[in-house]
A and B are shown apart, each in its own frame.
Chain A
Amino acid sequence: NRFSRRKKLIGSSQNDLYDHCLQFYGQPPLENISLTEFETFAVERLKLLKTVENLGVSCVKNSEQYTKKLDAEISRISEYEKRRKDHISHFILRLAYCQTEDLRRWFIQQEMDLFRYRFNDLHSKHKTDFLHKNNLKYETVSAEEKKSLQDKLIASSYGLSGTKVEEHDVPFQDALDLVRTRKVYLLAGNAYIPHHEIVTIVLNDFRTRLSKALAMTARSLPAVQSDERLQPLLSHLSHAYVGQDYSIQKNIGKISLEQIDALSGKSFPLCMRHLHKALRENHHLRHGGRMQYGLFLKGIGLSLEQALQFWRSEFVKGKVDADKFDKAYAYSVRHMFGKEGKRTDYTPYSCMKVILSNPPSQGDYHGCPFRHSDPELLKQKLQNYKVSPSGINQILELVKGMHYQLACQKYFELTHNVEDAGFSLNHPNQYFTESQKLLSGGRDIKKEVDMSQRSQENPASVTRPSQANSKQAHEEMGDLDSFFQDE
Chain B
Amino acid sequence: MSTSDYDPACLPDLLPLYYRRLFPFSQYYRWLSYGGVSKNYFQNREYQSFTTQNELEKEMQKMVPYKIDIGAVYSHRPSQHNAVKSGTFQALEKELVFDIDMTDYDDVRRCCSAADICSKCWTLMTIAIRILDRALREDFGFHHLLWVYSGRRGVHCWVCDDAARKLSVAARSAVAEYLSLVKGGEETVRKVVLSDPIHPFINHSLSVVERYFQQYAIVDQDILGSKESVDKVLAVLPEDILSFPDLAVSFKDEKDPMKRWNLLCDLVLRKKSNSKKGGQYFDKEIMLQYCYPRLDVNVSKGVNHLLKSPFSVHPKTGRISVPIDLKELDTFDPFEVPTISLICEELEKPRAEEAEEDDMKDKENEQEAGERRRIRDYKRTSLAKYVKVFDRFLEAMARSRKGEMLKKSDLQKDF
Which A residues have a C-beta under 8 Å from some C-beta of B?
A: 152, 154-156, 158, 172-173, 176-177, 179-182, 185-190
B201 touches A187 (CB 8 A): no
Q: Report the Cα distance A215→B212, complex, angstroms.
A: 49
Give A376 Cβ to nearest chain B Cβ, in Å.
16
The distance from the CB of B89 to the nearest CB of chain A, in whole angstroms, is 13
Q: Is the CB of A156 within 8 A of B197?
A: yes
Residue B140 CB within 8 A of the other chain: yes
When distances are taken between beta carbons in the complex, the residues of chain B under 8 Å from A179 are 174-175, 178
Report 15 cross-chain contacts, Cβ distance below 8 Å, ordered by A residue. Answer: A154-B197, A155-B198, A155-B203, A156-B197, A172-B140, A172-B171, A176-B171, A180-B177, A182-B201, A185-B199, A186-B139, A186-B140, A186-B178, A187-B139, A188-B140
New A-B contacts (9) at CB < 8 Å, excluding given A180-B173, A189-B163: A158-B197, A173-B167, A173-B171, A177-B174, A180-B174, A180-B177, A185-B199, A189-B141, A190-B141
Residue in B140, B163, B168, B200 whose CB lies within 8 Å of A156 = B200
Given A176-B170, A176-B174, A187-B138, decide whether A182 and B197 contact each other with a Cβ distance below 8 A.
Answer: no
Count B-side interface residues using an 8 Å CB cutoff. 22
What does DSSP make chain B's interface, helix, strand, loop or mixed? Answer: helix
Distance (Å) between the CB of A209 and the closest chain B CB? 13
Minimum Cβ distance to chain A for residue B292 (Å): 14
The distance in angstroms between the C-alpha atoms of A189 and B175, with both chains bound, is 11
Residues of B within 8 A of A158 (CB): 197
Distance (whole angstroms) from the CB of B163 to the closest CB of chain A: 7
- Does B122 reach chain A (CB closer than 8 Å)? no
Which residues on A sit within 8 Å (CB–CB) of B168?
173
* B:25-72 near A, CB below 8 Å: none
With A172-B140, A173-B167, A189-B141 given, is the CB distance from A155 to B178 under 8 Å?
Answer: no
Mask for B185-214, Cβ within 8 A of A = 1, else 0?
Answer: 000000000000111111100000000000
* Chain A nearest CB, measured from B246 CB (Å): 32
Is B281 an interface residue when CB atoms closer than 8 A count as contact? no
Chain A residues lying within 8 Å of B163, measured Cβ to Cβ, are 189
Say yes or no: B141 contacts A182, CB within 8 Å: no
Q: Could you say which residues of chain B place their CB within 8 Å of the CB of A177? A: 174
Residue from A158, A173, A177, A188 with most neighbouring chain B CB atoms (10 Å): A173
Are B170 and A152 in contact, CB atoms less than 8 angstroms apart?
no
List which B109-158 residues lie within 8 A (CB) of chain A. Answer: 138-142
Asked if B173 and A185 sit within 8 Å, CB to CB, the answer is no
**With A176-B174, A179-B175, A180-B177 in contact, do A189 and B140 touch (Cβ < 8 Å)?**
yes
Nearest opposing residue in chain B for A175, CB measure? B174
Cβ of A182 and Cβ of B178 under 8 Å apart? yes
Chain A residue numbers with a CB within 8 Å of B174 are 172, 176-177, 179-180
B200 adjacent to A155 (CB under 8 Å):
yes
Note all chain B residues with C-beta closer than 8 A to A186. Answer: 139-140, 178, 201
B-side contacts of A156, CB under 8 Å? 197, 199-200
Which residue of chain B is the closest to A204 with respect to CB atoms? B170
